[in-house]
Every structure is written in structure tokens, then in C-alpha cells.
């Protein structure tokens, strides 16, 4: 009799555990469904007076130009120069979801500025984009990374998309041509520190909040998806080879300083992130 009761109790525990697991997954699914979708502004400004970006010599972004980086399991290699770059393909655009968030070069994204994102061009640089369907042309400053969708070669700001006449359709076949500013290549800024050190004051090396490290990429991707869209900024996965094997580190940033890192850590606590630590890259 005791043996039978024990088996019954174990089945009840397993059944309860399954119910809780399903409920937890449903809650995550429900929460993701309320994340904001990217869109045009509800009350857009008139961008007819917004001028093309003006090409000029600029130092390379300190942390926007890694030799290579990995997104969604694919490695991308940053070009040393934009000279002679020309490519034809499809352009897309991004708007309200990312407005005000940090770009890969560390600057806040402004959907009303003439900017763009590219996977491999050095940051910043300037390109001319021509809509091959209507002949319209804009000049934009590339200061961000993306788009990471198959078949797309450049992601344009909302303002640039309006001027190219591609807002309604969302994408357009374009030609992208790098612009030579007529001067020598700008030297790169000093490389950031690559070690765990105390948080640096604002204006020095960028601050990242590391929220997890996994030997399995799927686990890292799962955590990244869980915390994206929680008003914490960009989330990246850094692949690191060590003497104990390859690890996939999930990091939020770049952030302004350790104070912002503390705020992000508090925001993420309800999502099971309790061992976050600040690092300087």
C-alpha cells in the first residue's frame, strides 16, 4: 500500500512539474507578444528639409570595428577600408523600435538622421544609395551593424527610406557605392582594453554587462531572445575560445557607465538574470 501511494505521489509530482513548465513557456510567449514591433512614427516629422550626410574624414569607431564578430551563428569580417566598395542588392529600413538606442558605433540611433547600418563596412563611412526602381539617390553615414536578414545589404534610417520612396513597400533594390572623401584614411582610435578591470568613467572604453556564459550556443541564443526588447539596449553574443573550450558570452551594451549597467541588471532580475557582471571591452 505504501509502495502504491509512493508511485501515485511521484506521478502527481511529475504531472505538476509538466504543468508548471508549460505555464512558464506560455508566459514567456505571452510576454514576447507584447514586445514593440518596428514601425514608422505615429506622428512623423516632415523630412523634406533633411539634408544628405556630408562626407568627411573621421576616426574609426573604437568599438564598432572588431576584426570579426558573430551574429546568429554566422561570422562577419570587418573591411579595413570602404575604398572602391560597390554592391547591388536589397535595402530595408528601421524606425521607432530602435530610435534612441545605441548603435554599434556607440552613438544613439536617430531615425530622422541620414544614417545606415551595414554588416562589414568600417564605421563610420559614407555611401551613396540609389533606388533602382525610381532613380532617387541619398547619401548616408554608416554608423551601425546590420541588417542580418538574408538578401539584404543595407538598413537605412526612416528619413533615408522616405527620401528614397521605399517606406511603404519596406524594401527596395538599390545600388550602394562608397564615397571617397578625398583625403587620407583616418587612423583608428586606440584599441580598448581586453581584460576584466574596474568600471571606467564615461568617455573611456565601452561598458558591457555580461549576463551569462554558455558552452552551448543554443542556450546563449535563448537567453538573448528572452532579454531583447526589455529596454536594456543592444544584446550581443561573443564567442570566446579558452583552454576549457569555446564559450558563448551574452552581453548587454555598450552602456554609458557602471551606473547604467547596474540599472540594466535590476531590470533583468525578474527574467532570471542574477549573476550579471560588468566588463570593459
Assigned CATH class of 207-280: alpha beta
> 79 and 208 in contact (C-beta within 8 Å)?
no
Judged by average pLDDT, the poorest of 84-98, 144-158, 226-240 is: 226-240
Position 230 pLDDT exceeds 80 = no
Average pLDDT, the chain: 77
- 68-178 fold: Barwin-like endoglucanases (2.40.40)
Taking Cα atoms as reference points, which of 162, 147, 59, 185 lies closest to residue 114?
162
Check residue 141 and report its DSSP letter: E
pTM above 0.85, yes or no: no
CA 90 to CA 124: how far, in whole Å?
A: 21
* φ, ψ of residue 189 in degrees (nearest 5): -75, 165
53-105 confidence digits (pLDDT tens): 999 989 998 888 999 999 888 999 999 999 999 999 999 999 888 888 899 98
Q: Which three cell numbers stand for residue 113?
A: 538622421
Residue range(s) occupied by CATH 3.30.70.1070 in the chain: 207-280
pLDDT, tens digit, 9 for 90 and up, residues 208-228? 888 777 788 888 888 888 777
Give the residue range(s) of CATH 2.40.40.10 domains in the chain. 68-178
Can you read off the three cell numbers belonging to residue 175?
545600388
pLDDT tens-digit map of 20-52: 333 333 333 333 333 456 778 888 889 989 999
In the chain, the N- to C-terminal Cα span, in Å, equals 63
The burial class, CB within 10 Å (0-12 / 13-18 / 19+), for 151 is exposed
**Up-side HSE of residue 140: CA atoms within 13 Å toward CB?**
33
Amino acid at each position: 500500500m505504501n509502495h502504491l501511494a509512493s508511485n501515485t505521489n511521484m506521478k502527481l509530482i511529475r504531472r505538476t512539474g509538466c504543468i508548471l513548465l508549460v505555464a512558464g513557456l506560455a508566459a514567456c510567449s505571452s510576454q514576447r507578444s507584447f514586445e514593440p514591433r518596428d514601425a514608422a512614427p505615429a506622428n512623423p516629422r516632415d523630412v523634406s528639409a533633411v539634408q544628405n550626410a556630408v562626407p568627411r574624414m573621421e576616426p574609426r569607431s573604437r568599438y564598432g570595428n572588431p576584426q570579426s564578430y558573430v551574429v546568429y551563428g554566422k561570422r562577419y569580417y570587418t573591411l579595413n577600408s570602404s575604398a572602391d566598395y560597390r554592391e547591388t542588392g536589397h535595402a530595408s529600413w528601421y524606425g521607432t523600435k530602435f530610435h534612441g538606442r545605441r548603435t554599434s558605433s556607440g552613438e544613439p540611433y536617430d531615425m530622422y538622421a541620414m544614417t545606415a547600418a551595414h554588416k562589414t563596412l568600417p564605421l563610420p563611412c559614407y555611401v551613396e544609395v540609389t533606388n533602382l526602381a525610381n532613380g532617387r539617390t541619398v547619401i548616408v553615414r554608416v554608423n551601425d551593424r546590420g541588417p542580418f536578414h538574408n538578401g539584404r545589404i543595407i538598413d537605412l534610417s526612416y528619413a533615408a527610406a522616405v527620401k528614397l520612396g521605399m517606406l511603404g513597400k519596406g524594401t527596395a533594390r538599390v545600388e550602394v557605392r562608397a564615397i571617397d572623401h578625398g583625403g587620407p584614411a583616418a587612423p583608428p582610435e586606440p584599441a580598448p582594453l581586453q581584460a576584466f578591470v574596474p568600471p571606467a568613467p564615461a568617455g573611456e572604453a565601452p561598458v558591457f554587462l555580461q549576463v551569462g556564459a554558455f558552452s552551448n550556443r543554443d542556450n546563449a541564443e535563448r537567453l538573448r531572445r528572452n532579454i531583447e526588447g526589455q529596454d536594456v539596449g543592444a544584446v550581443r553574443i561573443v564567442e570566446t575560445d579558452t583552454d576549457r573550450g569555446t564559450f558563448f558570452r551574452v552581453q548587454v551594451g555598450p552602456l554609458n557607465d557602471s551606473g547604467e549597467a547596474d540599472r540594466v541588471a535590476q531590470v533583468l532580475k525578474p527574467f532570471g538574470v542574477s549573476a550579471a557582471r560588468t566588463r570593459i571591452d
